[in-house]
Amino acid sequence: MGKRGVFFKGISDVEGKTSADRGATSREIIIEALENIPPMLSDETQKEAMKIIHYTVNNVKMGKVVDDKEVKRLIKNMVEEIIANQDAMLNLIKIKSHDEYTFSHSVNVCMIAILIGVRYQLPIDSLEELAFGAMLQDLGKIMVPDEILFKLGRLNEKELEEIKKHPLYSQQILSENSRIGELPKKIAYQHHERWHGQGYPQRISGENIELLARITAIADVYDALTTDRPYRKKFLPYDAVRLIVSRADDEFYADAVRAFVESVSIYPLGSLVKLNTEEVGMVIKINRKAIVRPTIRILFNPSGNIMEEPINIDLIKDRERFVICAIDEEEVYQMHTDQTGEE
């Protein structure tokens, strides 16, 4: 978990020196700020989640059934932690290689789906069903040939049709364990269906799609958009949220989109933003009554230099400042390099 005590006193070391005093780079400043936002899931639970999804996939590859007891134990812990830490940062797992994408994506989709479900006020048993299905929704991809799954170029029609079979494969794999209920299987089968009826595999629409699958669909798309892939650069969280909002009541169920935005906000915790003052800071608190006016920790002054003493600005109270755009980490690094010649 983050070191809360340091955060609101300024980013400083044990001798009381600020990051600017120590000649820290912009990269170090951003990393330090991120480390001091408490995460929704503990490192221990995240590691356990990755371990169990690896274990589950490997077992299925060897012809074994899904160990529902292990997954349910994990899910229970994840739901409890997320309910307890809703105002903490959505700490999505970063992948180191494309081979890890399937594993990290499964855990991330599960976390986001739980968060949406909590905001949607689902009861605990429904949250756990949602989490189970969201965690294993892509399990069927192990039956898709690697040369299709990891292809860098555009898929041809035949390859695309093979990819579109993975929801059916996921449902079939989950059905092999009689202890797994119908809802997780529906989530796995329907998470690529769309509200307007143009999804797959059945092209069903509206309320014919299970509610928990509608929620999982949003979580699935958000994580996919905000993750670097071999064939495209990741979206900024702000841009991913905007895209999903723009498709509410078309591709996505509007009430679930509303719960999603209330959960992650338009400027998610940990996002970097530029203000009208040309200052750059990190979102450290979401103001749910006015999501476009979060609390910002100013890290860089209008000249692009590191703040000697970072300050926290609540944009609800400070009406002179406002966010003009979200900004990418690399853009901040480049900005600071241009100013200082460092990095």
- Tell me the pLDDT tens digit for each residue of 231-285: 788 899 999 999 999 999 999 999 999 999 999 999 999 999 999 999 999 999 9
Do 75 and 183 lie in one domain? The reply is yes
Domain of residue 69, residue span: 43-264
Out of 300-309, 314-323, 332-341, which region has the weakest mean confidence (pLDDT)? 332-341
Q: Among residues 264, 292, 310, which one ends one of the domains?
A: 264
- Strands (DSSP E) contained in the chain are 272-275, 280-285, 295-300, 306-314, 323-327
The b/e string for 303-340 (b: 16+ C-beta within 10 A; e otherwise) is ebebbeebeebebeeeeebebeebbeeeebbebbeeee
CA angle 292, 293, 294 (to 5 degrees): 105
Do 127 and 11 lie in one domain? The reply is no
Q: Count how many domains the chain has.
A: 2
Confidence of residue 27 (pLDDT cuts 50, 70, 90): confident
DSSP 3-state of 315 = coil
Confidence of residue 18 (pLDDT cuts 50, 70, 90): very low
Q: Give the pLDDT score at 101.
A: 83
Q: With the C-alpha atoms ordered 37, 258, 74, 51, is the resulting torsion angle positive or negative? A: negative
Do 159 and 77 lie in one domain? The reply is yes
Q: Give the pLDDT score at 96.
A: 58
Do 27 and 62 lie in one domain? The reply is no
Q: Among residues 264, 279, 296, which one ends one of the domains?
A: 264
Task: Tell me, yes or no, if the pTM score tops 0.85.
Answer: yes
CATH of the domain at 137: 1.10.3210.10
Do 241 and 180 lie in one domain? The reply is yes
Q: Among residues 206, 239, 264, which one ends one of the domains?
A: 264
Other C-beta atoms closer than 10 Å to the C-beta of 65 total 16
Confidence of residue 189 (pLDDT cuts 50, 70, 90): very high
Do 98 and 148 lie in one domain? The reply is yes
Q: Give me the torsion for CA of 45, 46, 51, 57, rounded to 10°.
A: 120
255, burial (CB in 10 Å: exposed 0-12, middle 13-18, buried 19+)? middle
Q: Are 140 and 172 in contact (CB under 8 A)?
A: yes
